[in-house]
Structure 1
């Protein structure tokens, strides 16, 4: 089981998929062993072979991920509520799904006269907006907050930081507002929320 899960993780980390030979080399096992590991994973929809024979993630992984998403959102809500109230801005947890950022949980502040209405399930490219770019920064090992202005919605300002230290999860937490945000003020609040979410989900 351990080697099967390692194979699944290797394929997940390879955007272009892996050949059986590449997988065997990275796992330090023979090609025949990779075929034996891939068989049950393919049968359960966790892996698939593309036209070139490369191993890629199967639709079964997305099914499992969708089942886990409500648990992730539930674990993140206390930290998001605190963040929304502290920052006076709409707080959100964004996760990677299918190469895009998806707003998994959204909390609006209770005391502001107006705020951004950010829809749960909203999708956007990872290279646009603070939430997606924070995830990319996390991939590069940075925990620093990332800011954006008008990249996803005209007149909206965002600041986000990656959620680090949760195996298998690529995510960010951030806030979005209709006025410029002071990164020096909200940055530490966002990083504290990201750490709290990582602790709750880890």
Structure 2
């Protein structure tokens, strides 16, 4: 019988885990993928160490190498994302319901996926005669619309809110703010309506919702 493997010191295990997670983030942020050399340079470690990280990550479907040998995210990441998204939506729903009722407008939580904004959760107000029908799963460029622009503003540290008119749909008005302080999440919360919104009043409501959602998801 083989002797038991020696225990790996906790510090080394933590460092390996940290490097593996950093590698996943680096690959996720590289649309064209990364070579092993590029990954090693950005992580500040040797190529051999990168290969040791790739093995288990690829085995779990988190990383893959394309025909050119570049590192790309694997299907396992999509599996985890699909499992996590309903939990994110569930955590945001109380704040979205409150925001929709306060503003009298359709409230939404938008997250970044594949370089675009995706509506993860949508709540319509219960008391208005007319409101915007905004479909969960709707995608749009981050540069267009209040939701995407709020996410971009959040990357610079700006809190918001951001207001737009007619950028995604003629006659639609939006106000959104970034959801900040949730590790690994780029998102915004906002409202969209068929009439101009009071930027000051609705902006304050949106900011309060962003804070509530960040607290719920942290």
Give the TM interval when normalised to the shorter protein: over 0.9
Residue 5 of structure 1 deviates from its aligned partner by 1.3
Say which SS state the counterpart of residue 35 (structure 1) adopts: helix
- Which residue is 1:60 aligned to? 76
Matches within 5 A, 1:1-202: 1-202=17-218
Say which SS state the counterpart of residue 72 (structure 2) adopts: strand
Per mean C-alpha deviation after superposition, the further-off stretch among 16-25 and 31-40 is 16-25
Looking at structure 2, the residues matched to 130 and 48 of structure 1 have their Cα atoms a distance apart, in angstroms, of: 35
Runs of 4+ in 1 over 4 A off after TM superposition: none
Looking at structure 1, the residues matched to 40 and 104 of structure 2 have their Cα atoms a distance apart, in angstroms, of: 51
Cα-Cα RMSD = 1.4
Bigger radius of gyration: 2
- Listed as ranges, the gaps of 5+ residues in structure 2 are 1-16
Looking at structure 2, the residues matched to 140 and 15 of structure 1 have their Cα atoms a distance apart, in angstroms, of: 21
Kindly provide the CA deviation profile for residues 96-129 of structure 1, in whole angstroms up to 9, marking residues without a partner as x: 1122111111111111121111111111111111
Number of residue pairs aligned between Structure 1 and Structure 2: 202
If the length of structure 2 is used for normalisation, what is the TM-score? 0.88
Residue 48 of structure 1 deviates from its aligned partner by 2.0
Kindly provide the CA deviation profile for residues 142-194 of structure 1, in whole angstroms up to 9, marking residues without a partner as x: 11111111111111101111111111111110000000112111111111101
- Listed as ranges, the gaps of 5+ residues in structure 1 are none
Looking at structure 2, the residues matched to 94 and 75 of structure 1 have their Cα atoms a distance apart, in angstroms, of: 13
